[in-house]
Structure 1
Amino acid sequence: MPDITPNLELPFIMPAQAQKHVTHNEAIELLDMIVQLTVESTGATTPPASANEGQAWVLGTSPSGAWAGQAGKIAAWRGGGWLFATPREGWMAWVKDDSELQVFTGSIWATLAGTAA
């Protein structure tokens, strides 16, 4: 049996696992981050000086600082640190700075027809 789910990469609680609440809480954090996804912007490369709990950004091709090495991922400020998720084809997000719904095509975030402001 794999350790994670195939689509959202949520961790499974394994038989005889100690501290099962840690794995469960990790899965809940990821679900809370990506379900009904709202991001501040796409193509972000520099982490903000301060972020509010739950704020998220779609990272660009060359992120720096705390985001270095996480190109193309979604970065969310959770519990005092950055949580990263790799988007999958078909994921949608409301992009605040563009005021539009975008869909991940597998390579880019594109405006969903009829949702642009």
Structure 2
Amino acid sequence: MTSLKTPRFGLPLLAVGQAHKELFHNDALLLLDFLINPVVQAVADDPDLLSPAEGDCWLVGTSPVSGWSGHAGEIAGWSAGGWHFIKPQKSMKILILSGDANEKGSAIYDGTGWQHIPQISAPTGGTTVDSEARLAIDSILGLFRTLRILPEI
């Protein structure tokens, strides 16, 4: 028998003669809604400390408790039906809206864990200042921050 889930993200598939197909279809759409342009509020370990709105997502931290136990490193999305979990795939990128300087910004999943993209500061100091080069570097850094490739300073 074939699996009734997609191979990458485990989205539920429909089967011939399956009862309540709309439940499986709606669950797949909900997970896709979380996956398209994945944005998480922050990194957290305890869902009991949160007040999620429908559609909010968090990146589950390394020591999850309560309802998130066993889901470290996954994306947890909240809906009226409760928490839904998405296992990340290699090279998946997310945007983390808040947190400390090491967490906020973009992160990429490398197959074993999330790698947070570090801050890159604009050039300062030096004995020879090339203002045109600094302007170009500042423009590149600004573009990367606008595209959310780099976190904002």
Structure 1 residue 116: Cα displacement: 2.1
Structure 1 residue 63: Cα displacement: 0.9
Per the alignment, residue 111 of structure 1 pairs with 116
In structure 1, give the amino acid aligned to 2:36. Answer: V
After superposition, give the CA deviation of every residue in 1:6-41 in whole Å (9 maximum; x if it has no partner).
112111110111111111111101101111100012
Return the alpha-carbon distance in structure 2 between the equivalents of residues 49 and 110 of structure 1: 24
Q: 1:1-117 alignment to 2 at 5 Å?
A: 1-42=2-43, 44-47=44-47, 48-97=49-98, 98-112=103-117, 114=144, 115-117=150-152
In our comparison, the structure showing a higher alpha carbon Rg is 2
Q: State the percentage of identical aligned residues.
A: 33
- Give SS of 1:36's match: coil
The structure-2 alpha-carbon separation of the partners of 1:66 and 1:20, relative to structure 1 and needing over 3 Å to count, comes to: same
**TM-score, reference length from structure 2:** 0.68
Corresponding pairs, count: 116
CA RMSD of aligned residues (A): 1.8
Q: Which moved more, 1:94-103 or 1:6-15?
A: 94-103
User: Greater helix share, 1 or 2?
Assistant: 2
**TM-score, reference length from structure 1:** 0.87
Gaps of 5+ in 1: none
